[in-house]
C-alpha cells in the first residue's frame, strides 16, 4: 500500500542559507565543527579569543571571524550584536578548557574560574543567542559537554567535571524553556578528544593502552564531535532536544571491574550441594 511520501533526506542534511556561530571555533574540536558546517552549506561565524587563530579558521571555511571572550558578558553581547545584523540559525558552544588540579588542592578561585569558563558562554548563548535564533524562524543550540560530567575520570579536574555536569542539566532545562520558540538545545558529551599533540606528549604505550580500554578500539577525535554537531544543526534532528549525546567509543558503557572467576557459580541453582 502506498504510504507517506518520503522526504528528500539529503536536502534535510544541508545547511544552505543558514548562519551558525561556533564559540571556541579557533582550535581543536571547534575548528572541525567550523569545517563540517561550512562543507554542508552554512555561513560560519568563528568566535575565538586568539586573533590570528580565529581569523585563520574563518579564512579556511570562508566565514567571518569574531574576536570575543564569551566568559565576559559584554563581549558576548557585542558578538551577538554583530551576528544579529543578519540572521542566526544555530550556535555551537565549544568554549571552556579544563584545568588540571587535584581534588584536595583546588581553590575557591580555581573552582569559580572553571565554572565561569564552562557555563558563562553557554548562558549567554541561551539567553541572548536564542532570541536571535527564534527571530530567524528557529534553529539549534549545541553545547559541548564531556563524559567527565557523568563519570569521575582519573586526571580530570574536579571543577571541570562538576561544571560539565551542570552544563548537561542546563541543556535539559533550556530545552524545555526554549522549545516553544522553535529553539532546540542539545549537548554532546565526548570522551577524551585525542589530537596528534596529545598522542605525542603521552607516548605510544599510553595511547595503545587507552585504545584497548575503548570497546570500539579507537579514541575520540575532533571530527567525531563535528559530525554530531553537524547532525544536530540540520533538519534531520528537528525533533531532537534536551539530549546529552555521549560520543566516547563506548568507554563509559563498561566498568573497570575484575571478571568473575569461572569457578564461581553464576546462578543460585548452580551452587554445589552441601555434604
Where do the domains of the chain lie, and which CATH numbers do they carry? 13-248 (3.40.50.720)
Distance, in Å, from the CA atom of 38 to the CA atom of 16, rounded to the nearest integer, reads 9
Distance, in Å, from the CA atom of 188 to the CA atom of 229, rounded to the nearest integer, reads 8
* pLDDT tens, per residue, the chain with 275 residues: 568 899 999 999 999 999 999 999 999 999 999 999 999 999 999 999 999 999 999 999 999 999 999 999 999 999 999 998 889 999 999 997 777 778 888 899 999 999 999 999 999 999 999 999 999 999 999 999 999 999 888 778 889 999 999 999 999 999 999 999 999 999 999 998 888 788 888 888 989 999 999 999 999 999 999 999 999 999 999 999 999 999 999 999 987 777 777 665 555 554 444 43
28: cell is 581543536
pTM: 0.90
Tell me the catalytic residues. Answer: 160
Amino acid at each position: 500500500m502506498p504510504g507517506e511520501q518520503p522526504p528528500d533526506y539529503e536536502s534535510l542534511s544541508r545547511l544552505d542559507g543558514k548562519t551558525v556561530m561556533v564559540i571556541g571555533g579557533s582550535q581543536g574540536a571547534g575548528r572541525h565543527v567550523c569545517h563540517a558546517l561550512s562543507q554542508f552549506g552554512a555561513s560560519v561565524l568563528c568566535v575565538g579569543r586568539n586573533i590570528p587563530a580565529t581569523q585563520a579558521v574563518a579564512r579556511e571555511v570562508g566565514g567571518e571571524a569574531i574576536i570575543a571572550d564569551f566568559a565576559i558578558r559584554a563581549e558576548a553581547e557585542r558578538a551577538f550584536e554583530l551576528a544579529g545584523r543578519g540572521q542566526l540559525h544555530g550556535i555551537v558552544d565549544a568554549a571552556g578548557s579544563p584545568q588540571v588540579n587535584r581534588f584536595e588542592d583546588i581553590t575557591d578561585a580555581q573552582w569559580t574560574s572553571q565554572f565561569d569558563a564552562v557555563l558563562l558562554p553557554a548562558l549567554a548563548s541561551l539567553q541572548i543567542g536564542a532570541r536571535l535564533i527564534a527571530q530567524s524562524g528557529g534553529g539549534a543550540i549545541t553545547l559541548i559537554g564531556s563524559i567527565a560530567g557523568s563519570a569521575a575520570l582519573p586526571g580530570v579536574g574536579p571543577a571541570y567535571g562538576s561544571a560539565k555536569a551542570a552544563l548537561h542539566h542546563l541543556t535539559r532545562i533550556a530545552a524545555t524553556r526554549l522549545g516553544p520558540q522553535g529553539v532546540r538545545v542539545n549537548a554532546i558529551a565526548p570522551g577524551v578528544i585525542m589530537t596528534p599533540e596529545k598522542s605525542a606528549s603521552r607516548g605510544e604505550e599510553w595511547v595503545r593502552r587507552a585504545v584497548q580500554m575503548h570497546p570500539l578500539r579507537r579514541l575520540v577525535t575532533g571530527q567525531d564531535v563535528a559530525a554530531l554537531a553537524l547532525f544536530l544543526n540540520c533538519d534531520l534532528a528537528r525533533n531532537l532536544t534536551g539530549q546529552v549525546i555521549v560520543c566516547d567509543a563506548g568507554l563509559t558503557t563498561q566498568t573497570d571491574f575484575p571478571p568473575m572467576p569461572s569457578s564461581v557459580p553464576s546462578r543460585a541453582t548452580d551452587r554445589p550441594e552441601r555434604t
